[in-house]
Amino acid sequence: MAGTAQAETLRVATFAAPLSRDGPGLLLRDIQSGDVTEIIAIQTVIARNEPDILVLTDFDYDLDGIALAAFAASFADPYPYMFALPPNAGMATGLDLNANGRLGEARDAQGYGRFAGDGGMAILSRFPILAGQATDFSGVLWKDLPDATLPQWEGVPFLGDDALNQLRLSSTGHWIVPIAVPGGPPISVMAFDATPPVFDGPEDMNGLRNRDELRLWEVVLEGGFGPAPESFVIAGNANLDPEGGEGYRQAMADFLARVSLQDPLPDQPTADWPEDGPGDLRVSYVLPSRDWQIVAAGVFWPGPDDPERALLGEDGLAAGPHRLVWVDISR
């Protein structure tokens, strides 16, 4: 069963839970208080689903990992292993990336962020994380991605040379993190959190960047940045639905059709947005490599008559609009 050291089945999950706050240190404050309704709901959803490996894609980063350690310890069965790296979100560039004539705004950072560490990523695990063997692609410049599609405006590059020589592709991060799981070699967790393909102008900077953040994994899987991982699971928020919403949907559809991947949850939405807005979309994914057997999979989204609906509050949004996505795999 998930969560046991002798598990034959491994539960991998991702959750774009809203664990970002308005400034540094505030997330730790809210975790330690023990009375913030939103965090209690998030903790309850995670505890209910019992992932062995959990990728969180909206978790504020602090240098010493204090907030992450406090969150990992907050469960009745605490997570013993944690991993996080500084995200590109909130990392200052000193440039006017959105060309609005103002510097130092959230959209001028490497990835949208109001402060360094805003809305980063984190991994919690029941099994040892081989941090020394992790690979971080977060520093890859957008212009250095093979066949990158960079934004233009009226036939002219939207980004100047200063921006191109500094702007990273990852809006948050792209990591490959090996985890020593029972019953065989480590599993490589390929974690990422792509920019939403909206909130830009006619240059379509965010839409193009979103697509190329997905393409970075394609290049990795094709051996473009060194040996491709053999036994892996891609987990995180692609912010892209293959059938609806904004962005280059066909890119997501093509990615899901790759022969090296398994898609255990086709056509299942993972985010509950207003019907007069984006609507219900599939944006979070857990995609194991072909060497894994899919035992079960799901999106934690209890229906109106399900007793567990109460975990999400009266409006269904107590733990945020995103749903926890999980896949049980075995060798």
Separation in Å, CA 210 to CA 56, 206, 223, 264, 330:
18, 6, 21, 23, 31
* Residues whose CB is less than 8 angstroms from the CB of residue 275 and which lie 6 or more positions away in sequence, other chains included: none
Calpha distance 156→255 (Å, rounded): 29
pTM of the model as a whole: 0.96
Q: Does 203 map to a domain?
A: yes
Residue 2 domain-assigned? no
In a domain, 94, yes or no: yes
Tokens read off for 190: 């390929």
| Strand (E) or helix (H) holding 187 | strand 187-193
What confidence tier does 98 reach under pLDDT thresholds 50, 70, 90? confident
The answer to whether residues 224 and 212 touch, using CB atoms and an 8 Å cutoff, is no
Domain contains 36: yes
Phi first, then psi, for residue 121 (nearest 5°) are -120, 160
Q: Would you say residue 201 lies in a domain?
A: yes
CATH of the domain at 174: 3.60.10.10
Distances (CA, A) of 71 to 27, 122, 135, 179: 10, 11, 24, 20
Q: What does the alpha-carbon distance between residue 160 and residue 165 come to, in Å, rounded to a whole number?
A: 9
Q: Report yes or no: 255 and 218 within 8 Å, Cβ to Cβ.
A: yes
3-state secondary structure of 52: coil
Q: Which domain holds residue 211?
A: 10-330
The predicted-structure confidence for 173-192, as pLDDT tens digits, reads as follows 999 999 999 989 999 999 99
Q: How many structural domains is the chain composed of?
A: 1
Q: Does the residue 22 lie in any domain?
A: yes
- Tens of pLDDT, residue by residue over 235-259, are 999 999 999 999 999 999 999 999 9
pLDDT tens digits, one per residue of 259-313: 999 999 999 999 999 988 899 999 999 999 999 999 999 999 999 999 999 999 9
Pair 171, 88: CB distance under 8 Å: yes
Q: Quote the tokens at residue 303.
A: 């229906």
pLDDT of residue 99: 85
The answer to whether residue 230 is domain-embedded is yes
The answer to whether residues 175 and 136 touch, using CB atoms and an 8 Å cutoff, is: yes
- Examine residue 1 and state whether it is found in any structural domain, yes or no: no
Residue 263 to residue 259: CA distance in whole angstroms: 10
Radius of gyration from C-alpha coordinates of the chain: 19
Taking residues 308-323, report their average pLDDT. Answer: 95
Q: Which of 177, 143, 184 is nearest to 161 (CA)?
A: 143
